[in-house]
Chain A
Amino acid sequence: MVTMTSTSSQGKTERWTRYFTFNTDHKVVGIQYLVTAFIFYLIGGLMAMIIRAELATPETNVVSPDTYNGLFTMHGTIMIFLFLIPAFQGLGNYMVPLMIGARDMAFPRLNTTAFWIIPPAGLLLLSSYFLPGGPAAAGWWSYPPLSLTYPNTNPVNGQLFWSMSIVLLGTSSIIGAINFITTIIAMRTEGMTLFRMPLFAWNMLTISLMTLVGTPVLAAAAILLASDQVLGTGFFNPALGGNPVVYQHMFWFYSHPAVYIMFLPAAGAISEILPTFSRKPLFGYKEIVLATIGIAVIGFSVWVHHMFASGTPDWMRLFFMFTSMVIAVPTGIKVFNWTATIWGGRLWMTTPMLFAMGFVVMFVLGGVTGIMLASVPVDIHVNNTYFIVAHMHYVLFGASVIGLFAGIYYWFPKITGRMLNETLGKAHFWLTMVGLNITFLPMHEAGLQGMPRRVAVYAEQFTVLNVIESLGAFALGLSTLPFLLNVLISWVVGKQAPADPWRSHGLEWTVSSPPPVENFEQLPVVTGTPYEYGIVGKGAGPDDPSVDTQSASRME
């Protein structure tokens, strides 16, 4: 698909200190995002470990009830706003210009600005642990009126820091979104039509548009909430004639689409990985693109399914039940097309492939419970219980995080110029899959049986389920270790990665690993999608003159 020459890496001579500067190279910014996000992942994960330790027994015994409320509030906020969203921003930052044949993002300085908002915003959020009363503790939704008086009634408290941090992180997201949209619309290389674009780029474009529509509403909600709390206005305060349900609408108008903002890039990465390791073209490229756009559009008209128990009128319940169920159609189309991509291929069972296949299975499990939640009568029973916690973690961990790991294992050789260790990678995969299912599967039962979410104490009858969940969670915590070890060791002493270790066809694989500054010496010209596997002249087997069989058999 490509006519071009590649150059050897110039990155080697660059100093590591550039990662602590306002460097405008999209690849530096990408790594800054990814590493920062991963540090927050470890912090948020540690909080989850404490939460599960507390829940190992029905009584309060590890932390105080207020500390506990602070922990799950910060866990949710960190994992969403400081881990998943920035992590995919980082992966997108690194890969999108390479994938569409651009030398950098459209606005390099805006790019570094968007990143450098994140560390201060994260530190601001964490610093609320040193305030009297501690961090925000009203859940990551921060529903008023509780959030107006909790953790305390000081005007400057953890809740205010939460609101300020959300506004900052939202600003960063919006800046990033503008940059991605401009880059993808305006900076594609010759021949890279929209319908030849890699799926990952499609998904980054889609979520950037969603960010642009949704995030301002969240930021507005956070500002109005802070105003109610600090200035004593009454937008959401029923004691002053405000309406707390309006906050819920504003919050979920962003926060449901946010699930897709965290899920779609993972789905995009999967659409790159499955064809590569199945050695087959992506099945139904156009249908997957249309399904992605469909999810984004319908995704903005489903938010009230989070509010079925909030005193929502009947007509609204029924309307949003319908729209929420309709999401299952484009989602189903994607799953079927991914399965068809694998079918009949010659699968390389590498670590990224394992994660990609695990993604499909876990996502289906999170998806089928999603359909149940769309149905008002069922949702009324399980709303705000551990059933929701299970569903949401299957989608956000089982799909988004697993998909993120798949992407990292897949692109790590490109980003660092080093191969990851396959044995450690596979250990990471299996430990994660086992840990995740032991943790989250029993939560469905706990929720159905009557265990509400966000509780530090629970009825004795749920003890067994919770002990199992906690053990699973600790296994899941341990599963991070092989990954950490693998990344740290491989980055320094890992096997040198060739330009295209997986014999993949995307543009990013035509340049050296890691790619030189400005990526392409000469901008490539594109003549097809990057999924043309099995076609002679494009790397179809050992008889194909374009194949480097040596490098291919070295892998795995």
Chain B
Amino acid sequence: MRNLLRFLSDVPTVSRVILFGTGLTLIVAVSVWIGQNTAFLLPAAASKEAVSVDALFQFMLIVACVIFFSITALIVYASFVFAREPGDTRDGPPIHDNNLLQLVWTTIPVVMVGYLVVYSYDVYRELAAKNPIDIGGHAHLIGLDRAFAAPPPATKTGLPPVVIRVEALQYAWVFHYPGEVAVSELHMPVGRDVFFDLQSNDVIHGFWIPEFRIKQDIIPGRTTRIRLTTREAGKYMLECTMLCGTYHGAMRVAVIVEPQADYDRWLKTQMAQSREITVATRLPKDLTPTRIEQPALRSAATRTLIQNLR
């Protein structure tokens, strides 16, 4: 304890106590303000999942800001207050360690990490209930819900989930809607559950719509299913996040979330067009984007669409 007092001996005066108190209050206030004004950092939250992820991110941002600003303030303060006078060759006090301080600053990160793990786990439970990735089992060990294993439940509106099969290939996205519709633009009705069955034709691609806070690598040879609930109508962007070759950066398409009626109308038009295309085009032989051995493009509709895109 005496050691600790010696260590803090530079802060005996009331003015310094006030300075540090004010400093810490200011840091916390600024951090909380930043954490609550993340509009410039985060894109719109267009899915239900995005809202919980954002709350978690905002909390972590506040914690991060408090830590960063505090350490920075201490270092900057020290560099002014403790800088030696020119020519002063004296040493500082020979303080080696302090058990109480070590205990305090070990406990702080332990508690912080403990809380963040629990908070993150809670948010993840919510996400995983919809998007379980259950290779090898163990679900019972980690306490996650397995709602997804059951048949797709109907949503509040009474409508079943929209199931969209997504094929990724160098360098395009193909979306298969029920009824043999293959298109290159992603449309979803607002307020509905949407299921994506993700498949890749060549290399690993990444499926990401920033406004939905959901990202999934698409590993060739597997079907990966993810699910989300749309929340806000609007025009967003689907991007490939895994380097997939020359034009990786250009592998972006529009995502349109629209009212149910608009969506139905759009789907009907596409159905009509798609039928014409399928009849009109013969399948070309060499469509593989790279020369490697790879699974053939999966469906006639895809090949037709690619042909038309080119």
Binding site for B on A (CB under 8 A): 65-66, 69, 138-139, 143, 145-146, 148-150, 153, 238-240, 244-245, 278-287, 309-315, 317-318, 321-322, 325-326, 328-329, 331-333, 335-336, 339-340, 342-349, 357, 360-361, 364-365, 368-369, 371-372, 375-378, 380-381, 383-385, 444-445, 448-450, 452-459, 503, 532-535, 539-542, 547, 549, 552-553, 556
Contact = CB atoms under 8 A, between A and B. Distances in A.
B92 A344 contact: yes
Interface of B: 7, 9-10, 40-43, 52-53, 56-57, 60-61, 63-65, 67-68, 71-72, 74-75, 78-79, 82-84, 86-98, 101-102, 105-106, 108-110, 112-113, 116-117, 120-121, 123-124, 127-128, 132-136, 138-139, 141-142, 144, 202-204, 206, 208, 210-211, 213-217, 219-222, 224, 237, 239-250, 252, 290-295
Nearest to B293: A239
Contact of A445 (B41, B82, B87, B222): B41
Given A239-B293, A375-B116, A377-B52, A280 B95 contact: yes
Contacts of B112: 328
A364 B116 CA distance: 17
Contacts of B67: 364, 368
B93 A344 contact: yes
Nearest to B141: A315
A238 B290 CA distance: 15
B216 A311 contact: yes
A285 B106 contact: no
Nearest to A376: B124
A-B pairs with the 3 shortest C-beta distances? A455-B249, A450-B210, A368-B64
Contact of B241 (A143, A282, A385): A385
Contact of A309 (B68, B203, B215, B246): B215
B5 to A, nearest CB: 12
Given A336-B105, A532-B94, A347 B78 contact: yes
A22 to B, nearest CB: 40
Nearest to A343: B78
Given A313-B133, A313-B136, A344-B7, A384 B101 contact: no
Q: Give the most central of B40, B68, B89, B240: most A CB within 10 Å.
A: B89
A153 B52 CA distance: 45
B64 A372 contact: yes
26 contacts: A149-B290, A239-B292, A239-B294, A284-B97, A311-B133, A315-B138, A332-B109, A342-B78, A344-B82, A346-B92, A347-B83, A349-B79, A361-B75, A371-B63, A372-B60, A376-B120, A377-B127, A448-B43, A449-B43, A454-B249, A533-B92, A534-B93, A534-B94, A540-B94, A552-B89, A553-B87
A281 B84 contact: no
B197 to A, nearest CB: 13
A278 to B, nearest CB: 6
Contact of B249 (A283, A369, A457): A457
